[in-house]
Structure formats: C-alpha cells, structure tokens
Amino acid sequence: MEYEKQKIDAGIGKKGMPKPLHEMSEKERMERAARIRIGSEIIAYAEGFMRKEGFAQMLPVLLSPITDPLWPDPAAGIYKRLEVDIYGTTVRTMHSMIVHKLVGTSLLMDRFFVVSPNIRLEKPERAATGRHLFEFSQMDFEAQGYSAADIRSLIERMLHGLVEHVGKVMDEEFSEIGAEAPKFGIPFKVYERAELEKEYGVDWEEELPKHISEPAWIVDLPREFYDYEDPKTHKWDNFDLYLPKRGELVTGALREFEYDKMLSKMESAGVKKELYSLLLELAKEGRIKQSAGAGIGMERLIAWITDAPHVGDVQVFPKVPGIVYDL
C-alpha cells in the first residue's frame, strides 16, 4: 500500500501507527468503534457544559486570509502552510480561530465556543510521538472579562465532570478497550516554566509528562503576539495543561488588546503585519476588548481518556503526519 511506502520514506516504523479501517482486524475495529463512541459522549458533554456556562456555539471557519501564525511558539512544528487563491484573494487553511475569537468577543458577544477543524502540516517525524496529527479538531473558547485563572478553573471543572460522567455511562465501551477513565483531583498543580527549565533543562516539555501523575498547569510561556505579557515584569499571563505520559492538551491565555503592544510583539517576532491589518486597525481604534480563552485538542483529550496508543486511533480516518492514507 502507498501509505506503507510513505511510512518508510518518513522513517516511521509500522509498530504503533494507526491502521486504516480496511486493514484492521475485527477486534481492532471494535476497539476503535468503542473509542469513537466514548469520544462522541465526551464532545456532547463538553458542548453542553459550555452552554450551561453561558457560551454560545459558533460554527467553524475553514478558510480565511487570517489565521494563527503559530510563531514564535517553540512548540510549533509546521513545515508547510497551505494557501489557495479564491475570488482573487489569498486565503489559508485554519490553524486555529484565535484571531476570530478576539474579534468575535470584542464586536459581537462576550463569550462563545467553537469545535473547529484545524489543519497544521506537522513535520513527518512527529508521527512517532503518538500525539500529533495534521488534521484535528479543537474546542476553542473565549470570554470577555475573564482572567487566565478564570479560564483554568473553567477547564478544571469541565474535565473533572466530563471524566466522571463518561466513566459512569460508558462502562461497556471501556470494557471493550480494556481501560478505565483517568482519576484526578482539582485544582491542578501549577508549575512556573522557569522552574521546569531549571529542573529539566530545555527539554522540559518532553520530561515533565514522565514525572507527573495528574494533569498540571504550566504558566509564563513566551509565545505569540496575542498572549498577554506584563510590561513591567515581562511575565506572560498564559498557560498550557500537560497530561501524564502524553504532554500538552490545552493552550490558553489572557489576551493582548492594545495596539502598541501587539504591533511591537509582531515586529519583534517577525510576524507579517500585513496579514493582521484588520486586527491592528481595530486595536488602534480601541475596539478590541480584553478577553481570555483557550483551546483543547479534542483528539488528544479522547486519546487520554480512552488510553489510546496513538492519537490517530480515535479518528475514524487517521491523519498522521507524513502519511496520506487512501481515505
């Protein structure tokens, strides 16, 4: 099969890679089906939780002249950006709806969420991590007037209730895959990024999951222009949530909203300002309001809860970096 050749070309061994449906055994198909059913319940619970918290659901944007630059975030592993000309304008596939969230919460409503498909062509070698995909869905949400701590608390309550719920109502499916829903308490422990660098060095992102037994927050991460940086302390009011043995699940922050700070950070990072001219114009006019929000990788969430070997094992049609399956 062509995808086998692609795995060899990418230097990826067959062991651990998700199989396409037509090459799976009956037992393997039953296990994937069980994970898909659990995932469906997880998504339904998360959407219901957000509605109860007063968030309106927005339908996703797939193509836009503006998307997340994913730079200078050191965790970004994009090797190619997809662009296409339509109606005489260059548009890009959505990396994440961060800019749309900033504008939406400023001009339309004070809080909303969206389950957004994202396309990020990750480096082929990331297939072997078991946690990267080039096409995935993210629950993105943003709220005007919230702090970063408010968003972290919201996520903790959501995850705690979600795992408790699916553990009760999906007994048959968990038995099918030979797993149990993870157990943990809230609030989660908070680590300073600088502390982790001292303890584990520059590879702390890879080391931390090996040393924690419950989800943990990491704060103060130098990142993109839209995350808030205190001008006096130069600390970043943002966060990631890391899972035991699996790594990052959530990324979020209090947002920048002032024109001068956005512009300065774009220039320092080498971000193309012309791609964000509307956002900068709105900020200059004082129409961007401060908000906070986050994004949760849904496949990673489902893979963690169902103890999937690879994050592609919770997709009906896996989208693994470096491999293009027939479907």
**Element housing 251 (H / E):** strand 247-254
Contacts 24+ apart (CB under 8 A), 160-165: 160/184, 160/186, 161/45, 161/49, 162/42, 162/45, 162/46, 162/49, 163/305, 165/41, 165/45
**Element housing 263 (H / E):** helix 259-269
- Which SS3 state, helix, strand or coil, does residue 121 take? strand
Query: What is the total residue count of the chain?
Result: 327
CATH architecture of 22-54+99-114+140-314: 2-Layer Sandwich (3.30)
Q: Where exactly are the structural domains of the chain? A: 22-54+99-114+140-314
Comparing CA positions, the residue from 176, 78, 130 lying closest to residue 299 is 130
pLDDT tens digit at each of 327 positions of the chain: 554 555 445 444 455 799 999 999 999 999 999 999 999 999 999 999 999 999 999 999 999 999 999 887 767 777 788 999 999 999 999 999 999 999 999 999 999 999 999 999 999 999 999 999 999 999 999 999 999 999 999 999 999 999 999 999 999 999 999 999 999 999 999 999 999 999 999 999 999 999 999 999 999 999 999 999 999 999 999 999 999 999 999 999 999 999 999 999 999 999 999 999 999 999 999 999 999 999 999 999 999 999 999 999 999 999 999 999 999
- Which SS3 state, helix, strand or coil, does residue 134 take? coil
Residue 75 has which token pair?
Answer: 């965790």
Q: What distance lies between CA 266 and its chain's CA centroid?
A: 22
Comparing CA positions, the residue from 96, 28, 92, 29 lying closest to residue 253 is 96
Report the alpha-carbon distance of residue 319 to residue 188 in Å, rounded: 31
Report the alpha-carbon distance of residue 83 to residue 88 in Å, rounded: 12
